[in-house]
Structure 1
């Protein structure tokens, strides 16, 4: 069985390579995977470790290389029945856990205004984006797009670093995958109202950034932009929505307005902002962090900062110790609980991580990343009911979470609800068509048809 199951995964790897895939080659890959899966089902042998799945079981693998793909077409419903032995003998792909630690926000989320100066530097933003997506799909360089945000937002008095985080949320860190294409230079979904409507298109990246900032101005102030209006929907807001125009001055005020339902939209943007400002792993950062602790040994923020530096350097035990110290001085600090859970997971101390996520989610029930990470932990320990509950909660907060929808599909596979899993993977692909984990699962499941 091992030989055939590995052949099936090799076909999936071919389909998920960074090359552009034609429908024919994707179909050929799926055909190869199907043949391998059927042969695997016909075999009564097991893999070397005696299990019925390729080891290791579902793990949070490294993100595959990014590239343009042309997805094969999958029917809306399964065009046949499934070979259960084949399904049980292949490796299902999980979107990785969130692993970037957080600095605490400078104020409560509801108090952070759209207007204001930058807190993160341009260099921090470039490093943050490149870590999450080494190959952003842009019509300019990464440094240029960051510079445009600081120039355009700075001119209008909008927080450039937070506006850029909004663009990261809307585009999936410039990886796209929804109705909007990278060539449109549309970084905030202007005019992309669903039902495959791609929305506005701008001649250059800078004009696209300007339109984004101007649309924020339509929501957040009565005064017109400094430059000629480039946002095609600016006047729509001004003339038709007096209840919105100039009335939304805080990022969380965008909830349910910029994005629908978007119950947690502003908070998610601000969480990205918190992640962008974390210190790096350099010796200089470590020296500064240790100096902070020496000067203020009883200060929770100093221990939190130092713990992040240790985490970035890969010393998760020291990181966990500092996060614990931070919690001793400030027991209800969400960032410290989240960061300690991340460190515990890196140390394979799942019970400790689970305990921190439980506490955190009672304290901060709108923390999307914590819901996903806890759901993954529950899935890993075969608590499928609990994992499904966490993903359903996450989807109520953020209906566009392709990661959550994909995990639901894998849970349904484990529960032998294969037709439901087929639909869940399809829904996940509709949210993000460039997610390689979702595509791999669709190809694998199709390969398991009789």
Structure 2
């Protein structure tokens, strides 16, 4: 043992091992662990967290003039999301982003289109897709989110006109919905920080009193 300790390389190994034991004992993270720490992302295919009341109260605070028809359709985000295993509150937060909190100012779509996510607006000046009723527009949005989230089959018949264009499962996290942040260079929108903008709205919704 004494001869082993006389070797400088062995002493260095021993010192390193002792340091790691001490760090583990006191709950300290080694530098290399910190560098390799995995960021926790927000899954799209999970149970909804926000309630209908939180979503309504958030929207009324942001847009006091919001149409009553919009407030009435909010439960559809949860029911349609639950049917496909997709977080309806994420879809609602996305709609708030895409429509300017349903004020539709500067938006490519209008309320009467029942398109609350800019679906089909692939370039400036395009009108986008239209749906016969709010439920169908929300269902199409949920289906499109599911296309990005995973490769599982749809529960309801497909009505999303752009479902077939998505590389299934390429964006399982909200953070990856933006093309610029997606590891595969795919996603819902090209704008920088698209997913983070949705999450900022979502966090505000879940922090709203019911």
Same fold (TM over 0.5): yes
2:49 and 2:89 in contact (8 A); partners too: yes
The aligned counterpart of 1:338 is none
**Greater helix share, 1 or 2?**
1
Q: Alpha carbons of 1:279 and 1:167: their partners in 2 closer, same or farther (altered >3 Å)?
A: closer
Aligned-residue offset at 1:236: 2.3
Structure 2 counterpart of 1:208: 137
- Partner secondary structure for residue 141 of structure 1: helix
1:141 equivalent to 2:64? Answer no
Aligned counterparts of 2:127 and 2:40: Cα–Cα separation in 1: 31
Matched, 1:116 2:46: yes
Q: CA deviation at 1:110?
A: 4.8
Whether the 8 Å CA contact 2:45–2:146 is kept in 1: the answer is: no
* 1:228 and 2:157 matched: yes
State which of 89, 92, 96 in structure 2 corresponds to 1:168.
96
Q: For 1:165 and 1:279, locate their aligned partners in 2 and report how far apart those are by CA, in whole Å.
A: 13
Match of 1:193 among 122, 139, 145: 122
Deviation at 1:120, TM superposition (A): 1.3
Output the CA distance in 1 between the equivalents of 2:138 and 2:42. Answer: 21
Name stretches of at least 5 consecutive residues in structure 2 with no aligned partner.
1-37, 180-186
CA contact (8 A) 2:47 2:82 kept: yes
- Structure 2 equivalent of residue 132 of structure 1: 62
Pairwise CA RMSD: 1.9
Shift of 1:149: 0.3
Query: What CA deviation, in whole Å up to 9, does each residue of 1:420-445 have, x standing for no partner?
Result: xxxxxxxxxxxxxxxxxxxxxxxxxx
Spell out, residue by residue over 1:310-334, the C-alpha distance to the aligned partner (whole angstroms, 9 max, x if none): xxxxxxxxxxxxxxxxxxxxxxxxx
Structure 1, unaligned stretches of length 5 or more?
1-107, 238-243, 286-450
Structure 1 runs of 4+ with >3 Å offset: none
Is this contact kept in 1: 2:177–2:194, CA < 8 A? yes
Deviation at 1:154, TM superposition (A): 1.0
Structure 1 residue 143: Cα displacement: 3.4
The TM-score with structure 2 as length reference comes to: 0.73
Q: Cα deviations across residues 378-432 of structure 1 (Å, max 9, x unaligned)?
A: xxxxxxxxxxxxxxxxxxxxxxxxxxxxxxxxxxxxxxxxxxxxxxxxxxxxxxx
Residue 263 of structure 1: how far off its partner (Å): 2.1
The CA deviation at 1:111 is 1.4
TM-score (norm: length of structure 1): 0.35
Question: What is the total number of aligned residue pairs between the two structures?
Answer: 165
CA distance in 1, matches of 2:39, 2:94: 14
